[in-house]
Structure 1
Amino acid sequence: MAKMSAVNKNNKRIKLSDKLFKKRQMLKKIIMDKKLPLEERFKAQQKLSKLPRNSAKTRVRNRCQITGRPHGVYRKLKISRIALRQLGLEGKIPGMVKSSW
């Protein structure tokens, strides 16, 4: 089990990034538009830099929904490899069986 402070910090980052996603996208679009005057693009760049760092999508860490483990997490399932194996052994995942040869 991961430290709860790390899990809570990551959850806070997820909420903040979801909240400010549209605003960040709009500002980035203005910054990348070469047709706009340089002054307007510069103002958009300043507004973007004023936003909290934790509102960036790259600051969010992929963590297991069950254990909070940061490594070995399947993106599609949002579960770590260890938790996935445990659920498979308990028979909670349909079609998944322990392999042996």
Structure 2
Amino acid sequence: MSADHLPRHEIPRHLGVVTADGIELNVLMATYPNGRMAIYTTRWHQAWCRISVNVPDAQVEPDQFLAMTQDENEKLREPLLNSGLFVDTGMRLELGFRRL
């Protein structure tokens, strides 16, 4: 099993704060081993939710990432977009039963 889906051990960059369902979350960025952006949230210095997905074969620009916006992340989509930290490019990727 490859570790390409896990962020590298590095000091993450704090991007900002979003509130979803009344919960304040820190948004951080690190990188996966292949250099792509790893975006996730924390609450009280504990990992809360992974936003990005690392799909090495997907064609993604260096300043873009694939975001999980279904299931547990569905309630985060609008707060993340409304925060001004991210822009929806309209790109979609079918990956198994998930749409990214």
Greater share of helix = 1
Q: TM-score, normalised by structure 2?
A: 0.23
Higher strand share: 2
Larger Rg: 1
> Larger RCO: Structure 1 or Structure 2 (Cα < 8 Å, ≥ 6 residues apart)?
1
- Scaled by the length of structure 1, the TM-score of the pair is 0.23
